[in-house]
Chains A and B, each alone.
Chain A
Amino acid sequence: MAPQQEHADGDALAGLRAQTLRLAGDLPGALRRLSVRSGDAVIEVEWQESATGTPVLAPAVPVAVLAAEPVTEHDDESMVVRSPMVGTAYHAPSPGQPPFVKVGDMVEAGQTVLIVEAMKLFNPIVAEETGVVLELLVADGEPVEFEQPLLRLKTSADEAADVH
């Protein structure tokens, strides 16, 4: 599910959440990615690897426009590092080498966390903020699209907030 914040129009969001959960329950197979937007009312669903091993976006299901407020990327739990391009994501600089990061690692802002290969060019993906790796959202060698979430970080700002 996309990260969400408390909104003044919580009813609309609750409706969206309920619809999404119902939709997720109705879909066959295990979900790999579910992205929900309320602005233009988009729900995109991605299942586990398809038979051909290529990413398949299922026909997205239009839903009634619920709320005008955008769902923000950066909520008070974590931040998501997204792919800046279409390509193939790799966890390590080259096969057999240790990964750039593992779940639980502390990363500094500007540190490389993954690489995305596009047309034989290796593009380092850096963490924009300092934090702890909560989750790697793509498998090593997996094709990724523009803006696809790659990794989730618990940011240091949030940690500081937790102390107080």
Chain B
Amino acid sequence: MTVATARPARPAAPDRTILLLLFFVMTSAALLVSHNGELLEQLGGLGRTLRNPIVEALMVSLFLANILFAHLWRAAPWAKALVGIGSLLFVLPMAGREDTSLLDLSIQIMIFAALALGLNIVVGLAGLLDLGYVAFFAVGAYAWGIFASPRFGEVLRYYGENPGATNAGTLAMGIVLTLVTVASLVVISRHNRRRAPTPATAWSFRLASVGLVAGVILTIRSILVLLSTRADSLANGIDPGFFWLFLALSIFAAAVVGVLIGLPVLKLKGDYLAIITLGLGEVIRVLANNLALYSAGSQGITPIKSASVPWFDAMAGALGFTEDQYYLLFLYALVLVMIGVILLVNVRLDKSRIGRAWIAIRDDEIAAQAMGVPLMQTKLIAFATGASFAGVMGMIFAAKQQFISPESFVLNQSIAILSMVILGGMGSFPGVILGAAVVTLLNLRILPGLGEATANLGIPQQVNPGQLQRLIFGAILVAMMLLRPEGLLPSRRRQLELHNDDNQEDESAQGNAGALNSASGDVYSAGFAPAKENDKAGGSR
């Protein structure tokens, strides 16, 4: 192996400001024209071509490529900002005004981008393969779905009819029990911090935890019973003004679920973690299917409200949006802000102490532990952060679809999100967003468009591209793993690491499969723990 020599400095990329602006103007015009029904009527034959689903999908893809190019190309900062802001805040909503499905599509892309960013923290940064990620999405969706739909009234009615022995006295008891157990938990854990834990403290801690659960259940149950007289007034769900409270709550709830799931399972590594998270994801789905009182079972919950923001609606009205588009536009803006916040959080976390701890754990758990990284705590933070992004997006998803059912939270969704992360490049934020956009476009526009366009060409229904999502996902996963395991836009930190490491062959950073073939076991790939050829589980040595 030759010693890695200093790489020749890359020639500076040519300045592409003009090209970027030109591309932006052209694709924006194409998008606006191709989604304007009236204009298309007037265009006649050209209009019919533009309405072809493949052409439409192409237009949308080209338009979204703007943002990618603004990120990739070397151009004047003002031009980049102009393209980004112009396309997201101006062109997309304007085209969406003519064609609501475009607004819907962009919200969907951003929801998946946020989910992929969340999973990227768990898989890409901390190296924990989570196949049940969609469970957190479901938590957020159901948290809002149950309360903002007629479901809540039904639940209250049920408790009104079956009060058991619950009354104000039980409520008081439940609250007292909760408070006492919380207090004793705090006291015991403080005690444990000062002195070594004894069996007695361990047992009393467990006892108090059981008491806490009982107290919380009692309290919630009696609150539900006491509220049951209001079942009729809540027949359409709670006031949409609670949206903001629930936005905060869904972040919190998903993070708590993330910690609760993470506490037992994060002791495990690699394959075991993958399979157990897959199992837990299924558990959540089975529960959603069977707890018919709360989740309406497989029928699903509908209609789910969105927030009502009068000034926003007024503004949308002034801009020429119709009334049934108000909530979509609102959610579009909200999701845009959320993506911004999530990206900011991601970038800050990545550069923080915790981000470095995650990467240390991903690269070598034992070495990280030896260096004083608290394993469990750091992994839990990764899990909870990823979960909280999914929770808030789940809530927005519920508000957008106005309908949720367990079908939306199946394993395939988890795998779709995983394939976004892998396709884009584990650990790389722009890459992950690109992956989300590509996969969502493929799923919602390109494949159905191809399917529609080829419907009359005599291709049998079974091999219609619109039906082959799994095949295409699978092919993406396999092809990426074989050809370019670090993704389309690998993270810069990963590249730098690879270039500065004397043990690495230089080409490995380029991600050719040849590097993976050499069984040195030293090849790094974004997000993957190094292979240990001799690490066998079967036989003890």
A interacts with B: no
Residues of B within 8 A of A (CB): none
Residues of A within 8 A of B (CB): none
